[in-house]
Chain A
Amino acid sequence: MDVLDLTRLQFAVVTIYHYFFVPLSISLAATAAGLQLTWLRTGDDKYRDLTKFVGKLLIVTFAVGVVTGLVQEFQFGMGWSAFARFYGDVFGPTLAIEGMLAFFLEATFLALWYFGWDRLPRTVHAATIVVVALGTVMSAFIILAANSFMQNPVAYTLDPVTGRARLDDFGALLLNKVNLAAFPHTLAGALMAGGSLLLAIGVWRLRAAGEAGFRTLARLGAWLTVAGGALTALTGDHLGKVITEVQPMKMAAAEALYATTTGAPFSVFAIGGPDGGEPFLSVEIPKLLSILAAGSPGATVQGLDDLQAQYAAQYGPGSYIPMVPVAFWTFRLMIGIGMLAAAVAAYYLWGTRKGRTAHPLVLRLLPLIPILPAAANTFGWIFTETARQPWLAFGISRVADGISPGLTRGEVLASLIGFAVVYGVLAVVWLRLVRHLSRQPLAPAPAAAEPAADKIPVPVY
Chain B
Amino acid sequence: MVTVWFSLVVLCWVLFFVLEGFDFGVGVLGPVLGRDDHERGAIVRTVGPFWDGNEVWLVAAIGVTFAAFPDWYAALLSGFYLPMAALLLLLAVRGVALEFRGKGDGERWRRRCDTALAASSAAIVLLWGAVLGVLTHGLALGADGEVTGAGLSRSLDPLLSWPALAGAGLAFYAALLIGAVFLALRTTGPVHARARRWSVRLAAAGTVVLGGAGFATGSRLVLAAAALCMGITLVARHGRELVAFGITALGVAGAVVAVFTAHGDVVLRSTLDPAWSLTMTGAAATDSALRLLSVVGVVVLPGVLVYQAFSYWVFRRRVASERVPS
Contacts and interface: CB of A to CB of B under 8 A. Distances in A.
Contact of B86 (A103, A418, A457): A418
Range class of the A interface residue count: 35 or more
B16 to A, nearest CB: 12
Contacts of A458: 316-318
Of A71, A108, A109, A407, the most chain B CB neighbours within 10 A belong to A108
A95 B63 contact: yes
A345 B70 CA distance: 46
A437 B102 CA distance: 11
Contacts of B95: 63, 66-67
A96 B316 contact: no
Interface string A436-461: 11000000000100111101111101
Chain A at the B interface: SS class: helix
A111 B89 contact: no
Given A63-B95, A63-B96, A452-B320, A107 B88 contact: no
A170 B294 CA distance: 13
Chain B at the A interface: SS class: helix
A96 B67 contact: yes
Given A84-B73, A407-B78, A120 B314 contact: yes
B66 A422 contact: no
Interface in A165-189: 166-168, 170
Nearest to B87: A74
Nearest to B45: A450
A277 to B, nearest CB: 43
B147 interface: yes
B266 interface: no
A422 B58 CA distance: 21
A48 interface: no
B149 A406 contact: yes
B286 A89 contact: yes
A411 B288 contact: no
A108 B77 contact: no
A74 B62 contact: yes
B56 A103 contact: yes
26 contacts: A63-B98, A67-B92, A70-B92, A73-B62, A77-B66, A88-B67, A88-B71, A89-B70, A89-B285, A91-B66, A95-B66, A96-B64, A96-B293, A101-B296, A104-B60, A104-B304, A111-B311, A119-B314, A119-B315, A404-B74, A406-B142, A414-B85, A415-B82, A422-B89, A436-B104, A437-B103
Interface of A: 56, 59-60, 63-64, 66-71, 73-74, 76-79, 81-82, 84-85, 88-89, 91-93, 95-101, 103-105, 107-112, 114-116, 119-120, 159, 166-168, 170, 404-408, 410-411, 414-415, 418-419, 422, 426, 429, 433, 436-437, 447, 450-453, 455-459, 461
